[in-house]
Structure 1
Amino acid sequence: MPLRPNSGIDIGKKKTRRRTKKKKKAAAAAAVRQTAPPRVLLSTLFPSGIYPPGEIGEYNNGNLSRTTGEELRYLDRMDDVFLNDYRQAAEVHRQVRQWTQQSVKPGQTLSEIAESIEDGVRALTGHQGLEPGDSLKAGMGFPTGLSLNNCAAHFTPSPGNDVVLQRHDVMKVDFGVHVNGRIVDSAFTMAFDPVYDNLLEAVKDATNTGVKAAGIDARMRDIGAAIQEVMESYEVEIQGKTFPVKAIRNITGHDIKRYRIHGDKQVPFVKNSMQTRMEEGEVFAIETFGSTGTGYVSDDVGIYGYGRNRDVSGAQLHLSSAKSLLKTIDQNFGTLVFCRRYLDRLGLQKYLLGMNNLVSNGIVEPYAPLSDVKGSYVAQFEHTILLRSTGKEIISRGDDY
């Protein structure tokens, strides 16, 4: 309908109001961009509450779809909450790690790096973890691993034991993010000297091979053999000496359960005779480690963190400090892995005697750093995948790796 001249509407003023409204929308959009370091609550960036999916991949192991398209869509609808929790955790991981890759430089302490990662995760999930139960809603899935050189995994800075990152270091950055116990486990390796480029490329290629081989009905033995073949086709030259890249044979990838980073299934990255298969609905961390050393790791000095044994109660405890500490652990971490820095952050003091008592009673399990021989270098890459009926979702995939 054409506008009547005597309708009383001022066309010029109407256009001005529209332009002003557009400018306000643009300003509002700019205002909710992520900061550096990342501190904007993720739900502010995604006001719809719907988070982006990971990379969707097809199964290539020959298994046939067992359901119709209509049934698949129905199953997906039933998984909405599960998927959205995982996708939220994955987006937090992507934003925090991409900032980490851009900002971390030699000369920083490992404590500074770990705390910046963990501060970012807590800010983006909106859970600082300072009140009982808050860390169980969302936040860190496990302590940030910052393992240098021959240390393959399970090192995090502890109070009074800080290390400065050097230009010649090879640093594995491994951290988890959870939302309602749905843990995204993803890792990458940082090196500042191009001499290590081939080592990093070997392990990244091997991890991507494992991701490609994984799927419903895929056998662990086939996945491990495929990973090892790719990994060990690489070599790296360091200081004029050539080293074959070896797949570490005594650590594995794993399935992930709710609030439990390590489930019951293992995903080796060497040839093996395991008949175990992956199954629909499972979640796996596909990770690989490549080394210039022996390809075998052993416990190193120190403690990375602790995990609550869900099958052992504290009924037998007599030491009051152990009882009090166990109550704090159950309220704040449950079966999520935690470290001393997290206890210090809660304001706990003089808890080591109680912790030793919990460990000796099998209620809490300690995790030591895992290292290859001194002088060697280890790299790691890792992704979390969801085995859905409609295809596998590499939930942690990003533009970076």
Structure 2
Amino acid sequence: MGSKTPENEPHRNDHGDSSNSNGACRDGGEPRGSHNSRDGDGCLGDVVNEDDSDDDDDAHGEVTIISTENQLPSESGSAKKKKKKSKKKKKKTVSGAKKQSNPPRISLTELFPTGEYPEGEVQHYTKIRTKTAEERHTARLQFNAEDGEFLQTYRKAAEVHRQTRRWVRENVKPGHSTLEIAEGIEDSVRALLGHPGLETGDSLKGGMGFPTGICLNHEVAHYTPSPGKGVVVQHQDVMTVDFGVHINGWIVDSAFTMAFDPTYDDLLAAVKDATNTGVKTAGIDVRISDVSAAIQEAMESWEVEIRGKTYPVKPVRNLTAHDIKHWHIHGGKSIPFVKNSDQTKMEEGEIFAIETFGSTGRGYTRDDVGIYGYGLNHDAPLTTSLPLASAKRLHKTIRENFSTIVFCRRYLDRLGLDRYLAGMNCLVQHGIVEAYKPLTDIEGSYSAQFEHTLILRESHKEILSRGEDY
């Protein structure tokens, strides 16, 4: 989830009901339920039973999780027969595999019963720093990044992200709507975590780290479908998907861009290269300015030809990467994508969302119409005098279900709330809740984003969200 530079902080909405009631980021598209494949829970495919044959699993693009301890009951007999007939190691491994459904709906606790989740990509630092005893003590006071339970929590959230986005990348095609895609992602995340988020406080244990962002073409960041509305994705669209997964307030933030037309491949490659360069440059005691300079150099070395015209790929100047703190997607440190003089250093134990945005337009965003989401201000008082009873009730609901996690109108609708816009406007006007606007470049341009979450551990950095896809 992109962070705006300080001089472009999101403006609070002080215009009453009319502005918030127009919360749709994009209008149009097909209504939900108008196509058989789009009915139900926002899925783009049929749920595959766990006891389907291997051929059926492959046809539906299922994720295979290797687990020699947990065979499905319906497969145990055939598995033993396979082992007797063949001594090939591969056959034995596949026979004991437990399969993820398509779309993903099997909780990760079933797929990983031992509670051990895949480690992220390990990158060693180019320079090893020797810490003083005082520095080691200070680092431990914040939280222990080497703590096994903490790491497994983060790795689990990252695995949820990988399995969910694999479904997106393998199943989403032109003709699907942004609402279907967003709801499919959110249903998958909640199912894999085992927290539907419908009971009070359940979504605080695990759920979406922020509203799913689905951006098309010149839409750079912070677009999410409004309730009941979505835009149909076309073959010529460049689509960015940005979503977060949190467990007990620890957030994995990762994003990718898809294009169905190879015309835009160089745009995607440029931004992916810039993000990977930022990841490679990041480390303990590395200055923010050094990471920014490396990102800019990588991205600006690319250009893309679109319909006979060549465009330089520009880093978006007023968005930044950022650190992540407990319950806060933007922790306070920002990493611009252009050269700067910020001498702030990255520190051991910090968690960063290293992301970059590239554009064929101006490389500068402006606020668009509508509202992307809302977030409870961390320094807002727990109790305050409000003129509307609906605002007081809404404030209580937000604290009990989201805390400072950013949410959107669709998430309130899932909880059964209605007629809450007046109360929401009141909370925004009193500074209790922040409203976030969609961000766009000039029409006719194309933008892309890639992002990874990493943690700066003592001897190396672990790129938690890294996968085979990006």
By the TM > 0.5 criterion, same fold? yes
In the alignment, residue 342 of structure 2 is paired with which amino acid? M
Change (3 A) 1:21 1:230: closer
Match for residue 250 of structure 2?
182
Match for residue 353 of structure 2?
285
Match for residue 95 of structure 1?
163
Match for residue 16 of structure 2?
none
Match for residue 172 of structure 1?
240
CA distance in 1, matches of 2:115, 2:80: 23
Listed one character per residue, the Cα deviations across residues 124-153 of structure 1 (whole Å, up to 9, x for unaligned) are 000000011100001111111001111110
* TM-fit CA distance, 1:32: 3.0
Kindly report which structure 2 residues correspond to 1:256-295, keeping only aligned pairs within 5 A, or say none.
Answer: 256-295=324-363
Change (3 A) 1:90 1:151: same
Change (3 A) 1:24 1:139: farther
Change (3 A) 1:19 1:173: closer
Match for residue 17 of structure 2?
none
SS in 1 for 2:210: strand
Change (3 A) 1:193 1:28: closer
Q: 1:52 aligns with which of 108, 118, 136?
A: 118
* TM-fit CA distance, 1:20: 8.5
In the alignment, residue 54 of structure 1 is paired with which amino acid? G
Match for residue 179 of structure 2?
111
CA distance in 1, matches of 2:240, 2:364: 17
In the alignment, residue 266 of structure 2 is paired with which amino acid? N
Are the equivalent residues in 2 in contact too, given 1:32–1:40 (CA < 8 A)?
Answer: no
CA distance in 1, matches of 2:80, 2:398: 50
SS in 1 for 2:411: helix
* TM-fit CA distance, 1:310: 1.5
In the alignment, residue 268 of structure 1 is paired with which amino acid? P
Are the equivalent residues in 2 in contact too, given 1:322–1:353 (CA < 8 A)?
Answer: yes
State which drifts further: 310-319 or 95-104: 310-319
* TM-fit CA distance, 1:55: 0.3
CA distance in 2, matches of 1:260, 1:24: 50
Kindly report which structure 2 residues correspond to 1:11-160, keeping only aligned pairs within 5 A, or say none.
Answer: 22=80, 32-60=98-126, 62-66=127-131, 79-160=147-228
The higher radius of gyration belongs to 1
Match for residue 358 of structure 1?
427
In the alignment, residue 173 of structure 2 is paired with which amino acid? K
Match for residue 35 of structure 2?
none
Match for residue 205 of structure 1?
273
In the alignment, residue 152 of structure 1 is paired with which amino acid? V
Could you tell me the TM-score, scaled by structure 2's length?
Answer: 0.77
Match for residue 447 of structure 2?
378
In the alignment, residue 148 of structure 1 is paired with which amino acid? L
Q: 1:327 aligns with which of 384, 396, 407?
A: 396
Q: 1:306 aligns with which of 350, 374, 389?
A: 374
* TM-fit CA distance, 1:79: 1.1
Change (3 A) 1:157 1:67: same
CA distance in 2, matches of 1:77, 1:212: 20
CA distance in 2, matches of 1:295, 1:77: 36
In the alignment, residue 210 of structure 2 is paired with which amino acid? F
CA distance in 1, matches of 2:370, 2:234: 21
Structural RMSD (CA): 2.3
CA distance in 2, matches of 1:54, 1:63: 20
CA distance in 2, matches of 1:22, 1:52: 27
Q: 2:288 aligns with which of 195, 220, 224?
A: 220
Change (3 A) 1:253 1:77: closer
Alignment: residue pair count: 380
CA distance in 2, matches of 1:93, 1:222: 29
Change (3 A) 1:22 1:273: same
CA distance in 2, matches of 1:53, 1:106: 34
Are the equivalent residues in 2 in contact too, given 1:307–1:366 (CA < 8 A)?
Answer: yes
Are the equivalent residues in 2 in contact too, given 1:257–1:263 (CA < 8 A)?
Answer: yes
CA distance in 1, matches of 2:78, 2:231: 53
